[in-house]
């Protein structure tokens, strides 16, 4: 045996040993916890989720949540996908700020955004009326479905119906911090955005996606585009999308707007040509969007969500 | 040597997968219910083969278990008597039968899925042999045992049987037909709602000749949307009825 071979063998043994030692430590790590929060501006923090689909590996940590520190305690924007996430989020906030949470806003009724609210049963959890109604009516089904997708990270998670926030647009003063709430819709039938006037930070919820394809299970694209126009008028300095990195400019709103416009046009053109859904799913797709995270899967899902209504417009009643 | 053996094995398995496989134990979809399906849908002495020319195309996951889009095609046969589409693990496996007649052996529709299942198309050729192809769909479930949307609303009764349709003439002289019929397609599996579905639909040419025929069953989605490719590009008539004898009739001009 040559010397080179021997060295290669030793290296391989070392590698196997390293993997063997590392594996148990990795598998005992809890999945689905938020990472370390990052301070975007004075007193404004972000827990950034992975740009992935739900999986057992990520345990549902695919969503952005955030919080704003005030003199009267901490305001949380979205509680994450599970009880485990919500508890870790609250613990992290206590550790970083030395304060507890006094209020939680839920952006909309998608499970990655509201199911962590079980960690806040002693704090007001608030959402738009449509959001509260959807969680009341479909919360169990949404929870069961997420169990199927992420498994053990959901342990103990139950849907909690938030209190209703009955506003069109409201400015609040919480502990010396001016916050503006915007009641919009389009991504779902109730989408709440939160704007911190002092820092100019806009938490846009899932009205904005960046570098990650938008999801459309309850989307109304016309209303969504109108909501984006609304957000774009705010004098924000930093924008936090529901999924994807925070940005300083308008590129996240622009990307979401371009994507939705393209989606609408492409599906309308396909319906006008008489294509059926599987044919549409196979269509060649532009590079501009193919580079977005999880684009291929979201494209197929969006065809399922949006095509039935669009194709009907091409079928006149006989 | 080992590499050469592996190459040979790969070659053999590649050849096998292209060939028609007559052995039923070699169900390419490895369904636990294949032998039951075989007994249910084919005569005991029928010749049944797996055939890659019969293709079932669906997304990998059922995003909406009430509306799984399925595309079936069987190109390369000289004659097709009829085609049966079924889902092994659905509580009601049989989805539809299609007699393509003079239409292209291609059909697209949507169906209700209850759980992950193979979806198969079986094509009966002119010699009495069934050619079977299929694919798996993964699903969280609930499609067949959920009440139809219509069952909770009185509105559908005014519009039942209403047809929305269009013909797209193609450059090769054929036409794409797409239509939607308003119907609850109740499976009878949701509590308190009896079985009620559109069961017969024929596409008839301007001269009265039968172009293609469909027999639908409970798993077809509510308000069925169906696509097919017809010879010629003249007007056609859709006619059919549901399990309570309500008639469907509509003229579709390009």
User: CB of B215 within 8 A of CB of B82?
Assistant: no
The answer to whether the Cβ–Cβ distance between B164 and A318 falls below 8 Å is: yes
Contacts of A87 (CB under 8 A, 6+ apart): A116, A119
Candidates B225, B228, B233: best to mutate against A (most CBs of A within 10 A) is: B225
DSSP string covering A179-244: EEEEEE-SSSS-EEEEEETTTTEEEEEEEEE-SBPPP-TT--HHHHHHHHHHHHTS--SEEEEEES
Predicted confidence (pLDDT) per residue in B46-94, tens digit: 999 999 999 999 998 899 999 999 999 999 999 999 999 999 999 999 9
Quick one: average pLDDT of A243-258?
A: 97
The neighbour count for residue B60, using CB atoms within 10 Å, is 11
* pLDDT tens-digit readout, A257-274: 999 999 999 999 999 999
* % of chain B exceeding 70 in pLDDT: 85
Residue A240 confidence (pLDDT) above 80: yes
In this prediction, the answer to ipTM > 0.90 reads: no
CA–CA min distance A269, chain B (Å): 13
Residues of chain A in Cβ contact (below 8 Å) with chain B? 145, 148, 217, 273-274, 276-279, 281, 300-301, 304-305, 308, 311-312, 314-318
Pairing of strands B129-137, B47-50: parallel
The 10s digit of each residue's pLDDT in B118-161 is 999 999 999 999 999 999 998 876 566 666 766 667 667 789 99
Distance CA A250, CA B182 (A): 44
Which of B 75-134 lie inside 8 A of A, CB atoms?
A: 108, 110
Q: How many CB atoms lie within 10 A of CB B100?
A: 24
pLDDT of residue B2: 42
User: A170 or A49: which carries more pLDDT confidence?
Assistant: A49
Q: What's the confidence (pLDDT) of residue B26?
A: 83
Q: What is the pLDDT at residue B86?
A: 98
Across residues A48-55, what is the average pLDDT? 94
Backbone angles phi, psi at B154, to 5 degrees: -80, -10
Q: Give the span between the Cα atoms of B101 and B236, in whole angstroms.
A: 14
Select the residue of A274, A308, A315 nearest B67 (Cβ to Cβ).
A308
Which residues from chain B sit within 8 angstroms of residue A148, using beta carbons? 140
Query: pLDDT tens, A185-199?
Result: 999 999 999 999 999
pLDDT for B8 equals 44
- Can you read off the two tokens belonging to residue B35? 């032998």
Average pLDDT, chain B: 88
pLDDT tens profile B156-178 = 778 999 999 999 999 999 999 99
> Count of CB contacts below 8 A, A vs B?
66
Which of A307, A305, A291 has its CA nearest to residue A259? A291
Nearest to A10 by CA among A2, A23, A24: A2
Taking the C-alpha atoms of residue B83 and residue B96, their distance in angstroms, rounded to an integer, is: 8
Q: Residue A17: pLDDT above 50?
A: no
Among A33, A99, A109, A31, CA closest to A67: A99
Going by pLDDT thresholds of 50, 70 and 90, the confidence category of residue A24 is very low
What would the pLDDT profile of A52-93 be if each residue is shown by its tens digit? 999 999 999 999 999 999 999 999 999 999 999 999 999 999
pLDDT tens-digit readout, A84-126: 999 999 999 999 999 999 999 999 999 999 999 999 999 999 9
Using one digit for the tens of pLDDT, what is the confidence trace for A272-283?
999 999 999 999
Interchain contact B159–A (C-beta under 8 A) = no
């Amino acid at each position: 045996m040559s010397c080179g071979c021997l060295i290669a063998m030793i290296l391989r043994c070392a590698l196997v040993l390293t993997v063997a030692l590392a594996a148990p430590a990795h598998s005992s790590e809890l999945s689905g916890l938020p990472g370390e929060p990052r301070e975007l501006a004075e007193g404004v923090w972000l827990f950034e989720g992975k740009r992935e689909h739900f999986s057992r590996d990520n345990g549902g940590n695919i969503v952005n949540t955030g919080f704003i520190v005030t003199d009267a305690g901490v305001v949380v924007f979205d509680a994450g996908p599970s009880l485990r996430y919500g508890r870790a989020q609250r613990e992290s906030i206590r550790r970083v700020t030395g304060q507890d949470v006094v209020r939680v806003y839920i952006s909309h009724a998608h499970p990655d955004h509201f199911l962590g609210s079980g960690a806040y049963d002693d704090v007001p959890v608030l959402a738009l009326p449509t959001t509260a109604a959807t969680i009341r009516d479909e919360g169990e089904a949404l929870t069961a479905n997420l169990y199927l997708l992420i498994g053990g990270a959901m342990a103990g998670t139950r849907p909690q119906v938030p209190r209703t926030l009955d506003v069109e647009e409201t400015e609040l003063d919480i502990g010396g911090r001016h916050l503006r709430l915007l009641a919009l819709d389009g991504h779902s039938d109730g989408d709440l955005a939160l704007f911190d006037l002092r820092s100019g930070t806009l938490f846009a919820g899932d009205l904005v996606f960046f570098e990650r394809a938008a999801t459309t299970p309850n989307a109304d694209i016309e209303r969504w585009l109108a909501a984006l126009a609304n957000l774009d008028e705010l004098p924000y300095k930093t924008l936090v999308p529901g999924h994807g990195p925070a940005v300083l400019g308008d590129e996240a709103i622009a990307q979401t707007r371009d994507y939705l416009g393209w989606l609408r046009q492409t599906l309308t053109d396909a319906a006008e040509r008489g294509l059926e859904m599987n044919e549409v799913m196979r269509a060649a797709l532009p590079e501009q969007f193919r580079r977005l995270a999880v684009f291929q899967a979201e494209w197929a899902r969006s065809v399922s969500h949006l095509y039935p209504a669009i194709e009907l417009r091409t079928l006149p009643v006989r | 040597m080992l590499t050469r053996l592996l190459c040979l094995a790969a070659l053999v398995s590649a050849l096998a997968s292209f060939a028609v496989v007559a052995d039923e134990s070699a169900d390419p979809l490895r369904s636990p219910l294949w032998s039951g399906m075989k007994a249910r849908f084919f005569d005991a002495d029928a010749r049944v083969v797996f055939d890659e020319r019969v293709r079932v195309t669906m997304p990998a996951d059922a995003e909406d278990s009430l509306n799984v889009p399925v595309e079936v095609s069987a190109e390369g046969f000289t004659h097709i008597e009829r085609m049966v589409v079924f889902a092994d693990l659905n509580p009601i496996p049989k989805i539809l039968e299609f007699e393509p007649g003079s239409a292209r052996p291609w059909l697209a529709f949507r169906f209700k899925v209850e759980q992950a299942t193979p979806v198969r198309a079986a094509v009966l050729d002119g010699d009495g042999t069934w050619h079977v192809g299929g694919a798996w769909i993964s699903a969280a479930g609930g499609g067949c045992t959920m009440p139809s949307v219509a069952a909770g609303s009185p509105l559908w009764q005014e519009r039942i049987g209403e047809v929305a349709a269009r013909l797209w003439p193609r450059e090769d002289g054929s036409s794409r037909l797409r239509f939607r019929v308003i119907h609850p397609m109740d499976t009878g599996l949701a509590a308190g709602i009896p079985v009620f579905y559109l069961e017969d639909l024929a596409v008839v040419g301007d001269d009265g000749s039968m172009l293609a025929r469909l027999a639908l069953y409970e798993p077809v989605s509510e308000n069925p949307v169906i696509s097919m490719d017809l010879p010629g590009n003249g007007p056609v008539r859709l006619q059919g009825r549901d399990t309570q004898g309500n008639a469907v009739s509509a003229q579709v001009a390009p």
